[in-house]
Amino acid sequence: MGKVRFIRGDNGGKYPFNHSVYLEGGDCRVVIDPSCGLQKLSDLKEKDGVDQVWLSHWHEDHIGFLNLFEGCPLRISGRDFPPLTDMEIFLDWYNIKDEQLRELWETIVLNNFNYRPQKDALFFQDEETIDLGSLKVQIIATPGHTPGHLSFLIPDEEILFLGDYDLTTFGPWYGDLYSSIEQTIQSIRRLKSISARRWIASHNTGLFEENPGKLWDDYENVIYQREEKILNFLKEPKSLDEIAGAWLIYGRPREPREFFESNERALVGKHIEYLERIGRIAIDEGKYVRL
């Protein structure tokens, strides 16, 4: 792929790993989202060299081996930097309130993802173009998944890095405290409209060498399918606990239970907030009713 290298993640790029990207500019060598695998990144550092680390966003499965590049400048959107500075902020941004669950998540993030608070970072400006020397990269703001989620367009190579708008059949994630369904839809549509020859996503398939085409619509439609399931479930008034307990997002209980119960509730909660905001449902005596 010329000056842009796709580094397939361990476990097929599925969580807790991702696919990383290496940019070989004449003046600066960059690794994007260093969480593909320890050995691959160690080899990259030793054989090719890395001058900067870029993050598409703040999530733990994108920073797994960030500490391997200690001393390299870190670049990220300023909107997504706070969770990387303090564990409590990190957990707050996931909207984890239960103390037992916070303790569990803190252990996982520390031990499985090598979380260490970051003191400094360089902040990308939305829509700026960065010249790495013989390679230019356009920074594209694609909020929704997180407030500062970024995608990267390399025009000369006609490559578009999508980050976590990964076109999986599960659909988009927008369950964090500061995630947004509306912005997610806008970002999906924006990415779909950008001309490219190859597309790189952070997980699963990873590299698309033909236009994803219908996958864009399928991915966006998951949002509306989730919404419809919730509305159908609300033919009778239901509490948030009852809605989350129906496993409308994941389809069935999954293990580890604490992890997936939290995720189910987070996504359902976002849809409930959204549907209430647009007047499709209302709350009455602690239960949600369809209007």
What domains appear along the chain, each with residue ranges and CATH number? 4-212 (3.60.15.10), 223-290 (1.10.10)
If you search the block for the tokens 């993030």, which residue do you land on?
109
State residue 289's pLDDT score. 97
If you search the block for the tokens 């703040």, which residue do you land on?
58
How many CB atoms are located within 10 Å of the residue 103 CB?
12
One-letter amino acid for residue 57 of the chain: H
Helix axes 99-112, 257-277, angle to 10 degrees: 120
Cα 173 from Cα 206, distance rounded (Å): 17
Cα 67 from Cα 10, distance rounded (Å): 18
Q: What is the pLDDT along the chain (291 residues), one digit of tens a residue?
A: 689 999 999 999 999 999 999 999 999 999 999 999 999 999 999 999 999 999 999 999 999 999 999 999 999 999 999 999 999 999 999 999 999 999 999 999 999 999 999 999 999 999 999 999 999 999 999 999 999 999 999 999 999 999 999 999 999 999 999 999 999 999 999 999 999 999 999 999 999 999 999 999 999 999 999 999 999 999 999 999 999 999 999 999 999 898 899 999 999 999 999 999 999 999 999 999 999
Burial 202-229 (b: 16+ CB within 10 A, else e): bbbbbebeeebeebbeebbeebeebbeb
Classify residue 68 as exposed, middle or buried by CB count within 10 Å of its CB (0-12, 13-18, 19+): middle
Which 8-state DSSP code applies to residue 13?
Answer: G
If you search the block for the tokens 């970051």, which residue do you land on?
118
Q: What element of type H or E holds 151?
A: strand 150-154
pTM of the model: 0.97
Determine how β-strand 198-201 pairs with β-strand 159-163.
parallel
22 within 8 A of 43, measured Cβ to Cβ: no
If you search the block for the tokens 């796709």, which residue do you land on?
6
Determine how β-strand 74-77 pairs with β-strand 150-154.
unpaired
If you search the block for the tokens 């054989």, which residue do you land on?
47
* DSSP bridge pairs for 123: 76
Cα 62 from Cα 48, distance rounded (Å): 21
Cα 92 from Cα 104, distance rounded (Å): 14
Give me the sheet containing 198-201, strands edge to edge. Answer: 129-131, 136-141, 150-154, 159-163, 198-201, 207-208
- The values of phi and psi at residue 227, to 5°, are -60, -45
Cα 226 from Cα 219, distance rounded (Å): 12
